[in-house]
Structure 1
Amino acid sequence: MVESLLHIVGAWGAFGIMVAILLGFSVFFTLYYSDTRDREPFAMIITVLALTLCLSTVALFPVDIFLVSKTLDPSTGLRRGWATDEAIASMQLTVRIVYYGKERAVGVCLGRISSQSMVCLPHCFLSLYAALSSGPAPSY
C-alpha cells in the first residue's frame, strides 16, 4: 500500500511541478507578445490562466500513462500486489476529476468571453449608436 502511495504522490508531484513550469511559461509568453502600452491587468490574468489550463490538460496525459504503467509488473506482466480493483478505480476517479474539472474551468471562461463578445458588447454599441444618432437630447 505504501508503494502505491509513493507512485501516486510521485506522479501528482511531477504534475504539480509541470503546472508551475507551464504557469511561468504562460506568464512569459503573455508578457513577451503583449504591447507594453496595451497591457490590461485583468486581460493578462485571464490569458495566463486560460493558457495554463489548456497546456496543463495536455500535461495530464503522461500522468495517466504513468499511473497505468505502474500498476503492472514488467517482469511478469501481471498486476502488482497493491493494484487492486479499488486502487485502480480510485486512481481513475482522481484523474477523471482533475481532467473534467479543468475542462469545466476552460468551458466557463470561454463561455463568459463569448457571451461578452456576442451579446453584451454589440448591445452596448448599438444602444450608444442609437443615442448619438438621434441628435441632442431635448431641453425643457
Structure 2
Amino acid sequence: MASPAFEELVETFAFLDDWEDRYRHVIDLGKAFPPLDPAFQVAAFKVQGCASQVWLRPVLTGAGAGALFDFEGSSDAMIVRGLIAILHTLYAGRTVAEVGQIDAVAELGRLGLNEHLSSQRSNGLRAMVERIRQVAAAA
C-alpha cells in the first residue's frame, strides 16, 4: 500500500550500511523539507506528546472520503523535521480514507526506525501519526 515515493525511501534506507548513515539521511530529509510558515506554528497545529516542538498543519483537497490528504510541518529539532518528511512521504497525496488504512508502525519499521529511535522520539512519532490519523478521520 506504500506509495512509490515511500518505496524509494525504503530502498534508500536499505542501501545505507549503518544506522549513523540512516540518521544523517533522516536529518538531510529534514533540511530539505519545506519550512512551515511561522504564522502556522501555533497551538492549534502543535502536536502534544513530542519532546520537541512539533507542528503539523493539514491541507485537504476535496471533501469526504475521497479528499486528498497533505500536510505541512516543522519542528525545532532537525531529526524530527526528518521524521516529519518521512511521514509526509508516507501519507501525502493519499485519500483521507487511505490514510486510516496505512499501518504506519509496519511501514516505518521497514526503514529500521523502530529499534534506533529513543523512547521519547518513538513516542513523538506515534503522536504525529495519531494526529495525522485523527485529522484524516475527521475529514
Larger Rg: 1 or 2? 1
Please state which structure has a larger fraction of its residues in helix: 1
Fold shared, TM-score > 0.5 on shorter chain: no
Please give the TM-score of this superposition, normalised by the length of structure 2. 0.31
Please give the TM-score of this superposition, normalised by the length of structure 1. 0.31
